[in-house]
Amino acid sequence: MLHENIAAFLLNRNWVASDRNEKFTKYSPPRDLGLPDNYVISVPINNNHVDFSVFTRNILDILGSIYNLSLDELVLIIEQEQTIFSIRIYDENTRDGKISLSRFDEVLERIKSILLDTASFVIDKNSTSTRVPPEANRYLNLCEFIETQKGSFIAKIQLPQNELIKERELFDRQEVYSREINTRVKNVLSFVNREVLTPRLVDVTDEYLIENEELINLKLLKDIETFYLNAEIKNIDFSFTNLSESSKIESQEITRQKILNLSNFIENVSNRAVETIRLDFRGLITSLKSRDPDGTRNAITLGGSYQDLPVVASARLSSDDYKNALEAHKLKQYVNISGTAKKTRTRISFIEVDEFLIEE
């Protein structure tokens, strides 16, 4: 209901419900907004209140002035529960809010690729896949371009928030909702800005790839690289605003060296790509780790070979399998593990163990 969504918008931005009567709840702002100490916003308790539409329009106008959002954007965020994705490009050529047609086309085309390939990444769950599943196009078709604003160049896109994009399949983990894709877009852009577009080089190891496997997809990284190059990005902000949060990713002084670091990162990732596969592995246990063998957080590390290459593998085991692993380690017995794993050239990390057997 609308009054509940207004309350959620305020509470998720650290407003506090300071008073309540039979008609209204009063919300006090967080200190960082710099509003007077006695400032409150009164929200009707139910949508049936007399003049409810007038109250809500006034509230949206106030929130728009506080958070620099238009009435149309607030309607999308609060009434329709959508996400607003903003891209702000600022340099000497966009100071008056204008941008050349060729550059504008490049921005839109590359943002489209980023959204489409992020959706594909979430759906396929594969860092090397170049496939575009039909559900990814469904997500893209639900995104809508919003009018641009002046003051540098700002493009805004409405992202669907609660749409079912992919239904559960017989052997699949779960449904995919649009909010998962929106979150992945934000997390990947933040990761690239924080980890890659920096003066230093990232040491891309197998462990690093497995640790960050939900943020690294080769096709998506190349989309981002092409976006920065072809749209001639020097400074850019990405903002995501919805009912739950407002977040901003700021990337400034994007130099040729930073772009080169991104290109090198992509090349290093391609040489050590992570793939998710079902496999059988045979090896010797080299270490075990558990705080409670009767619990579920029981980990083992193994040494062995896979496809004629030396590999280090790791897996979490059930309590019974872990106790058997303790015995196998003592007796230096080979073990066989079957299941689903994240694999690089030298590392295997089982995410699901279907069978654990000890060779006699």
DSSP of 3-30, one letter per residue?
Answer: HHHHHHHHHTTT-EEEEE-SSEEEEEPP
Regarding whether 203 and 240 lie in a shared domain, the answer is yes
Q: Is-contact 285 301, C-beta < 8 A?
A: yes
- Give yes or no: residues 117 and 183 share one domain: yes
Which CATH number goes with the domain that contains 339? 2.40.50
Helix (H, G, I), strand (E, B), or coil: what is residue 342?
strand
Contact 115, 83 (CB under 8 A): no
pLDDT digits (tens, 9 = 90+) for 101-110: 888 899 999 9
Percent of the chain with pLDDT over 70: 96
Residues 25 and 64 in one domain: yes
194 and 88 within one domain: yes
Per-residue pLDDT reduced to its tens digit, 148-170: 655 568 889 999 999 999 987 75
Residues 119 and 190 in one domain: yes
Structure-block tokens of residue 36 = 């007077």
Asked whether residue 94 falls in the same domain as residue 182, the answer is yes
Percentage of residues of the chain with pLDDT beyond 90 = 65
Kindly tell me if the per-residue pLDDT of 257 is higher than 80.
Answer: yes
Count other Cβ atoms within 10 Å, centred on residue 212. Answer: 16
Specify whether 171 is located in the same domain as 286: no
Give residue 331's domain range. Answer: 275-358
Mean of pLDDT values over 204-222: 90
pLDDT at 99: 85
For the beta carbon of residue 11, count every other beta carbon within 10 angstroms. Answer: 13
Q: How far apart are CA 175 and CA 95, in angstroms?
A: 43
Residue with tokens 């083992």: 300
Region 238-249: mean pLDDT is: 96
pLDDT per residue as tens digits for the range 173-208: 578 999 999 999 999 999 999 999 988 888 998 889
Q: How confident is the model at residue 116 (pLDDT cuts 50, 70, 90)?
A: very high
Q: Is the pLDDT of residue 327 over 80?
A: yes
Same domain, 100 and 247: yes
Indicate whether 216 pLDDT > 60: yes
Whether pTM > 0.75 for this model: the answer is yes
Is the pLDDT at 92 greater than 70, yes or no?
yes
Cα–Cα distance between 34 and 92 in angstroms, integer? 31
- Residue 333's SS3 state is coil
Per residue in 259-318, pLDDT (tens digit) is 999 999 999 988 887 788 889 999 999 999 988 888 777 999 999 999 888 999 999 999
CA–CA distance, 157 with 6 (Å, rounded to integer): 22
- Give CA–CA dist 230/95, Å, rounded: 19
Rg (CA), the chain: 25
Q: Mapping DSSP to helix (H, G, I), strand (E, B) and coil, where does residue 152 land?
A: coil
Backbone angles phi, psi at 179, to 5 degrees: -65, -30
Q: What is the mean pLDDT of residues 29-43?
A: 94
How would residue 36 be classed by pLDDT, with cut points 50, 70 and 90? very high
State how far the Cα of 234 lies from the Cα of 121, in Å rounded to an integer. 27
How many other CB atoms are found less than 10 A from the CB of residue 310? 10
**Number of other CB atoms surrounding residue 91 within 10 Å:** 15
Question: Which of 6-20, 25-39, 106-120, 340-354 is predicted with the least confidence, judged by mean pLDDT?
Answer: 340-354
Report how far apart the first and last C-alpha atoms of the chain are (Å, whole number).
64
Domain end (from 218, 250, 271): 271
Q: Which residues make Cβ contacts (< 8 Å) with residue 92, sequence separation at least 6?
A: none
Q: What is the DSSP letter of 291?
A: S
Mapped onto helix, strand or coil, the DSSP state of residue 339 is: strand
Query: What's the whole-number mean pLDDT along residues 31-51?
Result: 86
pLDDT greater than 70 at residue 49: no
Q: Which of 229, 246, 271 is the last residue of a domain?
A: 271
Cα angle value 155/159/161 (rounded, 5°): 155
Res 251 pLDDT > 80? yes
Q: Does residue 75 sit in the same domain as residue 90? A: no
Query: Of 79, 101, 133, which one is at a domain's C-terminal end?
Result: 79
Q: Is 186 helix (H, G, I), strand (E, B) or coil?
A: helix
Tokens 């079912």 correspond to 164
